[in-house]
Structure 1
C-alpha cells in the first residue's frame, strides 16, 4: 500500500511518490478542502547590515540570517560590528536537552550542529555529514533482514570550541547517550536504534531494527554533544547539567558561542573563529551568498518591550539601562 511504502521505504524517491499518491487520494475523497496560508511578518532595519535571509519557516529572524548577515561595505564592512535582535522571552536553560522553549532554541541553535539540517528553502542539506548511504538486507547481506543501516562520512575540519576535533566518536556517543539517558527527550524516537558506532575517525554507522527512510531524520537532526565533556557528566546527569555562561564554559561547535549573559536582560554571542563553515569574503565584495562574517557579535535582547537596552561594540557593554 502507499501507506506501507511511505513508512517503510528507505529511498527518498519512494517516500515522495507515496506521499504524492496519498495526497491525491485525500484530495479526491474530500468534498471540501479549506486551503489557507499563515502570513509571518518580519520587520528589520537594513540601513546598516545586509545578508538577511527570508527563511521559508522562520522568516527573517532565524538561523540563516544570523549566519549570513554582515555589515555593509560602505560602513566599513563586511567585517565587524554588533548585530542585535530581540527575543520575546529570556532563555530558560542553556541545556539543549532540558529546554522546551522555542525562545531558548533561538540561541541554542547557534551553538550546536547536526549531521543534516534544513536550508532556508526547507530542503535537507548535509551539514556535519559529508555523505551518507542507506542500506537494507537487499542492498547488503551483512545487514540483518528488516534492518536499516546508515553510513555517514563526516567532514574532517570540525572542532569544538576548546580545540578538540569533532569526530564520528562524538556522533556515535551522542546518539547512544540520548537513547540510554533515562527520560532524555532526544531519545524517545531512538528506541529502535540497535547500534551507533564509529569504525573510523570520520565514519559513523547507525542501525535500526526496522526499515524506514524516516530514520535518517531521527538521527540526522539531533544536536551533537562533545563526548569528552558528557562522559564525565554521565547518563544520570543529563538533566542536572545547568551551565550559566560565560562563568561556566560551554564547549560547543556552532558558528557562535556565548561570551556574556545577564539573566532577563541579554545574551551575547561571539563568532567562533574555527567554525567549519566559516566562509571568507575574499576581497569583501559584499556578496551575501555562502558567507560568514568575521568579528561579528550577536546581542540577543530578552523581551521586545520593557527589557533592558543593550548596546555592544566590539564585545564591550557600553550601556545597559532599564
Structure 2
C-alpha cells in the first residue's frame, strides 16, 4: 500500500468562499525584501540561520555498508514491483523508488517540524512585497555529478518543463507559476499568478531539479533506462531492469557538509530488489538477502516472524511511532461509472464491509477503524460543526447530504459475525431506494443494467480482505467480484481510472499542500490521468473547501477548513474509510545504528540510519 511523496477562524461567508485564492498574506510572519534561510507555511522555524545540523540526526554517523530494503512508500510514476524507466518525473512508464535521491532541490524539509524547509541548492530566498514572487540565491558550489555547475538556468528550465510535461503530481502544483527566470547565474526568480495557495511554494522548493543540458540533448517524456545526470547524494549504480537497482553514494557530493545534509546519506550503497510476489519478498528477508522490512500484513506480523534469525537475535522485530500526519486509507468508488454516483449506493457498499469481523479474523486484532480521510490529526471532524465550519458549509447546503451538518458521519459497527443481517438489510433497503430492484438473484435498474462492482487488487493478501466484502455485496444482489492483476496492469488501470473500486493508503502531510488536496479531491483533477482523484469527485462544495484550505493564513484556519472538508467527504462517501495502523511494524537485521526517538514527520530509514561493522560481523554480515 503506497504511501507517496504532506489550524477561532475568520468567518468566511458565501462570497468569500467563492473568491480566488488570495495569497497576499502568505507567510504572514516572514518579512519581504529580506533574505531568509528557511520557509514555513505560517512563518514558524525551529532552526536559526547558523544551525549546524538537524537535531534528529547523528552528525558523526559513520559512512559505509549496504542497505537493501523494499521501500514502504513511493511517489510520481514509481513502482515497488518493477521498473522500465529511470525517469521518475513523467507519467510514462514505471520508475524505481528513490530516484529522487540522485537530485537536489532548492530546499530540504526538516522532519521534526510540520512544514519547514531550509536552504539546500538555495542559500536564501527573498519574498517580494506582493508575496507572489520569490528570488532564490543559489550556492555557487552546487555541482552536477559530472563536475559542471548547477545554475539558475537549470532550475528555471526544470520547473517550466515540469509544468508542461511533468507527472501530474508536479504539473498541478505548478499551474499558477507564470514565470521561472534566471536573473543571473546564481539567482532564480519564481513568479506566481496571485491565485496560488500559500503552501504552493513549499512544494515547489522541494521538487527535484534536473539538468537543462541533459534534457535539451535527450527527450524528457520518454521511457529511458540511461541514468539521467544528477546532483544529489546518490547516483545510479548497477541496474537490472525490473529486477534490482543500486544507488551509490557520491563520495565527493558537493552538498555533503551542508546543515540540511549533515549526518544523513550514510550508506555507501542503497539497493532495492523487485519482487512481484509478497511471499518471495518475505523469503528474501528471512534469508538475509534483504536487510530491512516494514510489515503491512497483520497475519504475517503476528504469526510468521518466527524464523531462526528472529529466534537467535540476528533479526530485531520492533515498532516505531507513526508520524504526526493525517493518515488516509480508503476505498475509492469510481463515479465515472454511473452505478456509483448515487450516495445511497456508496453507503450500501460501505455497509457490506464488516470491519469488526475482519479485525478479529484476518487482522489478528491489529488495526483501528478509519472514520476519516484525516485520521490521527487535528483535521478529523468531531461533534457538531463549529460556527466557523458552518460559515464554510452553509453556501452549499442544498448540494450536501444532511449528515454534513450534524455529528460527522460514522461507519457502522457490525456484530462481528461476518454477515450482519441488520446491516445488510439496511444496505439492501438503500439500494432499493436508489432504484435497484431484484432481477433474479441480481439487482438491476430500470434500464435492465445489473449493479456491478469489481474490486481491483495487486496482491493476494489484499484480495483476501476484499473477498468477504464482495461476498456480502453478492448476498444483497450486487454482482461483486475481486480481480487481482500484476503490478504493471494495476498501475496502468490506476492512472487511467479503469476500475470500479480500489484501495489507497496515503499520508497527506502535517500541513497538507494545496496541490496534494487538489490532486485528491478537486474537480480539476477528476479527468486528468495520473492524479489521485480516483473517485472522480466533482463537487463545488469540495472544491471550495479545498481552496479555503489553500487560502488559510494560520493553522487555526487550516484546521477549520479541513474539518469542514472531512465532514463533507464522510457524508458523500466518495472514499469509504477502511482501517489504519498507528505505528510502523519493522524488522531488520541487527547491523544498523539509529537515533531515537525518530522524528515526528518522517521515517526515511535509508537516509537516517547507518551501518555498524562490528554488529554486522557478529551476525555474519560483516
TM-score normalised by the chain length of structure 1: 0.61
Residue of structure 2 aligned with 1:118, choices 103, 109, 112: 109
Q: Name structure 2 gaps, 5 residues minimum.
A: 1-9, 31-40, 44-53, 73-79, 292-622
- For the residue of structure 1 that corresponds to 2:98, the secondary structure is helix
Residue of structure 2 aligned with 1:267, choices 239, 245, 266: 245
Residue of structure 2 aligned with 1:172, choices 127, 132, 156: 156
> Over aligned residues, Cα RMSD in angstroms?
3.8
**Count of residue pairs the alignment pairs up:** 235
1:216 is displaced (CA, Å) by: 1.6
Show the 5 A alignment for 1:15-54. Answer: 16=42
Residue of structure 2 aligned with 1:299, choices 236, 255, 271: 271
Structure 1 counterpart of 2:145: 161
Structure 2 counterpart of 1:60: none
Residue of structure 2 aligned with 1:276, choices 235, 254, 258: 254
- For the residue of structure 1 that corresponds to 2:256, the secondary structure is coil
- For the residue of structure 1 that corresponds to 2:245, the secondary structure is strand
Structure 2 counterpart of 1:243: 224
1:190–1:218: 8 Å Cα contact kept in structure 2?
A: no
Q: Confirm or deny that 1:152 pairs with 2:152.
A: no
Q: Greater strand share, 1 or 2?
A: 1
1:273 is displaced (CA, Å) by: 2.4
2:90–2:165: 8 Å Cα contact kept in structure 1?
A: no
In structure 1, distance between residues paired with 2:104 and 2:126: 20
1:112 is displaced (CA, Å) by: 1.5
Return structure 1 stretches of 4+ with deviation > 6 angstroms.
2-6
Q: Confirm or deny that 1:97 pairs with 2:89.
A: yes
Q: Greater helix share, 1 or 2?
A: 2
In structure 2, distance between residues paired with 1:265 and 1:180: 31
1:206 is displaced (CA, Å) by: 1.1
Structure 1 counterpart of 2:123: 130
In structure 1, distance between residues paired with 2:167 and 2:97: 23
Q: 1:161 to 1:182 in 2, by over 3 A?
A: closer
In structure 1, distance between residues paired with 2:280 and 2:134: 49
Q: Name structure 1 gaps, 5 residues minimum.
A: 18-52, 56-63, 71-77, 138-146, 281-288, 313-322
Q: 1:16 to 1:82 in 2, by over 3 A?
A: closer
- For the residue of structure 2 that corresponds to 1:195, the secondary structure is strand
Structure 1 counterpart of 2:537: none
Structure 2 counterpart of 1:253: 231
In structure 2, distance between residues paired with 1:111 and 1:182: 17
Q: Confirm or deny that 1:10 pairs with 2:26.
A: yes
1:265 is displaced (CA, Å) by: 3.0
Residue of structure 2 aligned with 1:228, choices 213, 234, 250: 213
1:131 is displaced (CA, Å) by: 0.6
In structure 2, distance between residues paired with 1:151 and 1:290: 25
Structure 2 counterpart of 1:202: 186
Q: 1:231 to 1:2 in 2, by over 3 A?
A: farther
In structure 2, distance between residues paired with 1:216 and 1:271: 29
Q: 1:131 to 1:264 in 2, by over 3 A?
A: same
Q: 1:115 to 1:264 in 2, by over 3 A?
A: same
1:119 is displaced (CA, Å) by: 2.0
1:119–1:125: 8 Å Cα contact kept in structure 2?
A: yes
In structure 2, distance between residues paired with 1:195 and 1:259: 35
- Residues 115-163 of structure 1: CA distance to partner in whole angstroms, max 9, x if unpaired? 12312224322221111011134xxxxxxxxx71111011122211122
